Structure 1
Amino acid sequence: MLGQPRFIIFWSGRLVSGLGDSVFALVTMWDVLKTTNSPLLAAIVPLIPTMTFLLFSLPLATLADRWPKKRVLIMTDTVRSLVMLVLVGLLESRVANPTLLYLFNFLVMVGQLLFNPAQQSALPGILGVPDRDIPLATGMLSATASMVRLVGYGVGGALVAAFGSATLVLVDAVSFALSAASLGLIRISEADWGAPRPGKSSGQFWRQSLRGLGFLWNNPLLRALVLIGLVVNLASAPLQFFTAVFSKAVLHRGAAGFGDLEATAALGALLASLVAGRYAKALPLRVWMVLSFLITGLGLTAMALHPILWLATLLFGVAMGSMALFNVPFAAQLMRATPDDVRGRVMAGVGMTFSVSVPVGLVAGGWLTEVVGARAMFGGIGLFLAMASVSSRFLPGGRRALTAEAAGARGSGEIR
């Protein structure tokens, strides 16, 4: 992959932009928790993008499939840079509050929901040999996301204390601008970016939006994964805010401990993404699922039982890193199996269906954490995930079911 200049430019933009995103996520989560001292209100920070995803991912993915991909990518990064600059001004004026932070999380997520489908549609055209390179590219992009989280969270807590929230949000604004500039340097044809698919009416627009869900439901393997994902995400949703709560209430380490936990999680995901990307084709999806759920569950349970700083940090890195053992092979195989003109909608449909239960899990998890405490909730989630590894027995067909049926759909013309 390092020998492909177009991919390196593309990857560099994701590296810079991801670094800014990790800093922004840390700032908003910690500022809300510090201001309100409420796990429930802190849970709203990840709840906002989750609800935005559920409500708008399919229509925005349809727009991204219709519009020229390069234009969508550059436009969304540019607008998000401007949004971050506005937030910098509000923070410097000391008028920002939790409600405004929720609003800016919403605006950034809208941009991401346009950017991601366009990126997924454009990636095969950027690569030299798509069928060969997609698993490696997916693993590398996933590892990059983990690496920037490692750096962002690793130093973010100290940077918040040293320079304040406004400075870190300014870093995010600059990162989006640099990402937009890097995309402008990639020279390939419009067809290689992923040709736009025009629509003629609002009725056709909504029918096209639902085609991604139809693709998922008509595939037995994907349908089973969706149902399993709904239950697992309901239980594991509180992990999106637990690091801040666990650091504050159990480890008593404040923002620095929050950053340490997230950094080790990112390091674990980085290493696991590289392994999973390299060996994505070597094992069936059911095996990747067992490894992912079992290691994650045991790591979280041990972390709750032994809340010593160094041990908890190590265990959380192992637990969160193991998530990539399933996510990377699944995403790579799905991208290879999906027709180009609906890839954005299919990938958005996967994310949307996996996330349907997350809002309930976040709210219930925030409330239960206040009732039973962070250690009990952490341990309970770990035990559930370890037991959920047996759900892989209910997957029909494994990897071949995904690729074979998708190829059949592509050839039949049923997916448009």
Structure 2
Amino acid sequence: MTGIQKVTGGLPPAFLRLWAASGVSGLGDGVYLAALPLLASSLTHDPFTLSLVAATALVPWLLFGLIGGALVDRWDRQRTMWTVDAGRAVLLAVPVVAAAFDVLSIPLLVGVAFLLGTGQLLFDTAAQAYIPELLSREPAGLRVANSRLQATTSAGEGFVGPPTGSVLFTIGRAVPFALDALSFALSAILIRTLPAGPKRAEASDKAKDGARGGIWAEARAGASYVFHHRVLLGLALRPAIGNIAFMAGEGVLVLFAHERLHISSSGYGLLLACEAVGGLAGSTFAGRIGERLGTGGALTATAAVEGLALLGFAVSPGAVPAGCCLAVLGAAMGATMVLGATVRQSIVPAELMGRVTAVTRLLAVSAAPLGALLGGFLASSYGLRAPFLVGSALLMAMTFVTASLTTNHRVEDALAAARPRPTTAEVTEDVEVTKAVAVTEAAAS
């Protein structure tokens, strides 16, 4: 790739622009996540309608997540990212203008949320595929990069963005969306300056994927690649099972906090912040954990920690121990996201990266509604602690799956298989250099 520097003890300068774009976009996302439900609740108080607005952004993943991954593998990833962000900036101007003319409506918000979700599908998939291109698939550099990106995104979406969005909403209900639009515009400008990815010629894709039968055939090829690769399958099952476990308790979390932990409404926000603090710490120290335990060992350890932390939360007698358990849970989740993404980016061929990312994300998104339904059933049938206890059991079971599919040995074998083999010219050059050194040493002696 023209203009890409290899990682040699540090990250290439281009990554700093990608990092900055991620930070700006993450801040805007946090503002949006707080402002959207506030804006929707100003238009209706119907719980079903409000949940519809909140869930709409996930619908694109369910409808055409696999197709989106296949499209990203056809397109230039850098161009996809900045074009999508520019489009999202323009799209967010719609509620701003609608608010100015007092024509805001729930159908309009649903439409905007759906299109923004579609943009997020394409952007996130392209970003996960572009990072290994930028860093030449070098695992150490990818681990550092993913750690920084995850920490920055967590800070923007979890700490700074939501309270900023709430405050801006009190100034004017369209103000948060204007700021989010600005964040997307700045992100698009920064990403526009990044090096372009390699061209993806159709003939090359045919040679690598077999006879091309259209976009669906390519999407199926990506899914097949994941399900026939044990390490990738383990990395894909991890967030899917995790989402079932976490979403089982998510729907009743506020009731559990009030009725079992005796936490006030103001304290509820602090409880959620505990998980965000842990996530920031986990993503920051993920690299050190991976170096000490090995990536496979670290993934197994974090799965066990997640299960134990959720169990501790379920049986917590009060707010303080519950907050500590959520912090530990967040730390394990943050480390897992960094380590899992690093392995995936290091071992997946560039021409399949978009599809593999989309398959993994689709499994996770599809599992979330199942977890929510399970949690509602358990809470109504067996009490508010039941969803968290069952979620803990699922996470502990995931420990054994991780221990068998993503062991240190399997991960190292996958990394070794993905390393580029030296060309004949490079081997010949090494032999000639060795001979020259031997002749020099013989002459000197």
Whether these two folds match at TM > 0.5 is yes
After superposition, the Cα gap between the structure-2 partners of 1:242 and 1:175, relative to the gap in structure 1 and judged at 3 Å, is: farther
After superposition, the Cα gap between the structure-2 partners of 1:17 and 1:153, relative to the gap in structure 1 and judged at 3 Å, is: closer
Q: What does 1:5-404 align with in structure 2 at a 5 Å threshold? A: 5-29=13-37, 35-36=44-45, 38=47, 44=52, 47-91=55-99, 96=104, 99-127=107-135, 130-152=138-160, 155-156=163-164, 158-159=166-167, 162-186=170-194, 188=195, 190=196, 193-198=197-202, 203-227=213-237, 229-238=239-248, 253-254=264-265, 257=267, 259-306=269-316, 308-366=318-376, 371=380, 375-376=384-385, 379-385=388-394, 387-392=396-401, 395-396=404-405, 398-402=407-411, 404=413
Deviation at 1:137, TM superposition (A): 0.7
Amino acid of the residue matched to residue 309 of structure 2?
G
After superposition, the Cα gap between the structure-2 partners of 1:123 and 1:231, relative to the gap in structure 1 and judged at 3 Å, is: closer
Q: Secondary structure at the match of 1:26?
A: helix
After superposition, the Cα gap between the structure-2 partners of 1:44 and 1:328, relative to the gap in structure 1 and judged at 3 Å, is: farther
Amino acid of the residue matched to residue 395 of structure 1?
S
Q: Secondary structure at the match of 1:357?
A: helix
C-alpha separation between the residues in 2 aligned to 1:155 and 1:319? Answer: 23
Deviation at 1:332, TM superposition (A): 0.2
Greater Cα offset, 316-325 or 29-38: 29-38
Greater Cα offset, 49-58 or 59-68: 49-58
C-alpha separation between the residues in 2 aligned to 1:5 and 1:126? Answer: 10
Amino acid of the residue matched to residue 195 of structure 1?
K
Deviation at 1:245, TM superposition (A): 6.0
Q: Secondary structure at the match of 2:170?
A: helix
Amino acid of the residue matched to residue 336 of structure 2?
F
Q: Secondary structure at the match of 2:214?
A: helix
Q: Which has the larger radius of gyration?
A: 2
Greater Cα offset, 285-294 or 351-360: 285-294
C-alpha separation between the residues in 1 aligned to 2:99 and 2:212? Answer: 40
Tell whether the 8 Å contact from 2:165 to 2:176 is kept in structure 1 after alignment: no
Greater Cα offset, 382-391 or 2-11: 382-391
Figure out how many residues of one structure are paired with residues of the other and give that number.
Answer: 405
1:359-396: CA deviation from partner (whole Å, max 9, x where unpaired): 22234435665x36984355335533453354247624
Deviation at 1:238, TM superposition (A): 4.2
Deviation at 1:95, TM superposition (A): 5.1
Amino acid of the residue matched to residue 171 of structure 1?
L
CA RMSD of aligned residues (A): 3.6
Amino acid of the residue matched to residue 23 of structure 1?
V
C-alpha separation between the residues in 2 aligned to 1:372 and 1:167? Answer: 43
C-alpha separation between the residues in 2 aligned to 1:11 and 1:386? Answer: 31
Tell whether the 8 Å contact from 1:296 to 1:385 is kept in structure 2 after alignment: no
C-alpha separation between the residues in 2 aligned to 1:81 and 1:163? Answer: 21
C-alpha separation between the residues in 2 aligned to 1:381 and 1:406? Answer: 35
Give the gaps of 5 or more residues in structure 2. Answer: 1-8, 422-445
Tell whether the 8 Å contact from 1:30 to 1:244 is kept in structure 2 after alignment: no
Q: Secondary structure at the match of 2:200?
A: coil
Deviation at 1:292, TM superposition (A): 2.5
Tell whether the 8 Å contact from 1:17 to 1:175 is kept in structure 2 after alignment: yes
C-alpha separation between the residues in 2 aligned to 1:43 and 1:297? Answer: 28
Identity of aligned residues (%): 26
Q: Secondary structure at the match of 2:385?
A: helix
1:294-330: CA deviation from partner (whole Å, max 9, x where unpaired): 3333433444444745554443233223212222111
C-alpha separation between the residues in 2 aligned to 1:311 and 1:97? Answer: 42
Amino acid of the residue matched to residue 196 of structure 1?
R
1:243-267: CA deviation from partner (whole Å, max 9, x where unpaired): 666667776644x555434433222
C-alpha separation between the residues in 1 aligned to 2:295 and 2:181? Answer: 38
Greater Cα offset, 381-390 or 20-29: 381-390
C-alpha separation between the residues in 2 aligned to 1:245 and 1:146? Answer: 25
1:98-132: CA deviation from partner (whole Å, max 9, x where unpaired): 55444332211111111122222322343378343
Deviation at 1:225, TM superposition (A): 4.8
C-alpha separation between the residues in 2 aligned to 1:280 and 1:168? Answer: 38
Q: Secondary structure at the match of 1:203?
A: coil
Deviation at 1:83, TM superposition (A): 1.4
C-alpha separation between the residues in 1 aligned to 2:54 and 2:27? Answer: 18
Tell whether the 8 Å contact from 1:292 to 1:323 is kept in structure 2 after alignment: yes
Greater Cα offset, 152-161 or 57-66: 152-161
C-alpha separation between the residues in 1 aligned to 2:110 and 2:268? Answer: 20
- TM-score normalised per structure 2: 0.77
